[in-house]
Structures are given as structure tokens and as C-alpha cells.
Amino acid sequence: MALHITGEQAADELLSDDAFALLTGMLLDQQVTMESAFAGPEKIRSRIGSIDPETIAGYDPEAFVEVFKQTPAVHRFPGSMAGRVQALAAAIVEEWGGEASALWTKGEPSGAEVLKRLKALPGFGDQKAKIFLALLGKQCGLTAPGWREAAGAYGEEGAFRSVADIVDAESLTKVRATKQAAKAAAKASKA
């Protein structure tokens, strides 16, 4: 799998090669651009020398916030997001033996079970879990039965709703247009 989300080769290679980096990028994907969120794991790795869940979980929390604050920042909310990344890392270490991909591979789970496992993670609500499940199915080779159904609208073929649908600059533009249209519709319905 070769992901093309950030527009930065090193960041995209890390996302393609490291399940925890990909999971971390998804966690960071809120209130910043998708490219910035998914470039975050490479910034962390370049600053502390690792994206290993055990290393991150055991990192001094105050020092980890400083890692997030370095320019360019990992996230616009360094304190809260550094804490969330450490909580995610701790959950992967404690519940999945430090192997993020076990979430979607251990015991040959169905799509519904993978979704349940994702929603149990710190920082992963229903929507984020469904988007990540769709990303796994559409771009990372997940073949769990029922993953499309479990991912809901994000699992639909030919949809341009989320990071799961970004494979190049053109698809990124389509995803942005879909998101902008959804925001405009939501704003109009409130008026």
C-alpha cells in the first residue's frame, strides 16, 4: 500500500509503512487540514526518533507537549492533542501488545468488530472510526467481511467524503468540495 495523503514523501511513506503512524494521523485529523494531521506522525518521529507506541506512551508528558509545539507545530492544539496521542499509544501497548495493526488483524475480525475495536480507542468516536475503517478497506487491503457496511457512507465506492478517498491531488480536491458542500448545507439548515 502506498498512501498519498500529505503531499510529503517521507510522511506518506511512514503512513504507508507504519500502522500506528496511520492511526495517529487519523487521531490528529480534527480542526486542522487533513494533510497537516497526517503529516503529524512524521514530525513526531523526526523529533523524538520514533513513532513506536511504547516509546510515545512512556515519553515525559511535558516534554511531549514541547515536541508538539516545535515549529512547524504537530497540531494547533499541542497540549490536548499530545495527551491524546499518548493515551492512544498507551491503549495500543496495553490492549494490543504494541501492535496497532492487531486492531484489524487479530482473530480475523469482521468489519463490525473492527469498527467496535476502533471506537474503543481514546479519541475515536463513531465518525472517526468509520472513516478509518473505510481507509483500511479502500486503501490498505482490509478484507474483513462487512467492512463497507460497517463504515457506512464512508465505505461507498466512488464517494469522495474523507481521507479514505484521497489517492492523488484530484481526489483531494473532490473530497474538499464534498466537505465544503456538507458544511454549507449544515449552515443553511441552521439559518
Q: How many CA atoms lie within 13 A of 78 on its CB side?
A: 16
pLDDT of residue 186: 85
Q: Which of 88, 47, 89, 50 is nearest to 68 (CA)?
A: 47
Q: How many CA atoms lie within 13 A of 62 on its CB side?
A: 0
What would the pLDDT profile of 113-126 be if each residue is shown by its tens digit? Answer: 999 999 999 999 99
Q: How many CA atoms lie within 13 A of 84 on its CB side?
A: 22
Q: Which of 154, 129, 132, 157 is nearest to 142 (CA)?
A: 132
**Rounded distance between C-alpha atoms, residue 190 and residue 93, angstroms:** 43
**Rounded distance between C-alpha atoms, residue 127 and residue 73, angstroms:** 25
Q: What are the grid coordinates assigned to 174, written together?
A: 473532490
Per-residue model confidence as pLDDT tens for the chain (191 residues): 789 899 899 999 999 999 999 999 999 999 999 999 999 999 999 999 999 999 999 999 999 999 999 999 999 999 999 999 999 999 999 999 999 999 999 999 999 999 999 999 999 999 999 999 999 999 999 999 999 999 999 999 988 999 999 988 889 889 988 888 888 888 888 87
Per the CB < 8 A criterion, the answer to whether 53 and 20 are in contact is yes
Is the CA virtual torsion 180, 154, 102, 172 positive or negative? Answer: negative
The one-letter code for the residue type at 57 is A
Helices (H) and strands (E) in the chain, counts: 11, 0
Q: What are the grid coordinates assigned to 30, written together?
A: 480534527
Angle between helices 34-48 and 9-17 (to 10 degrees): 80
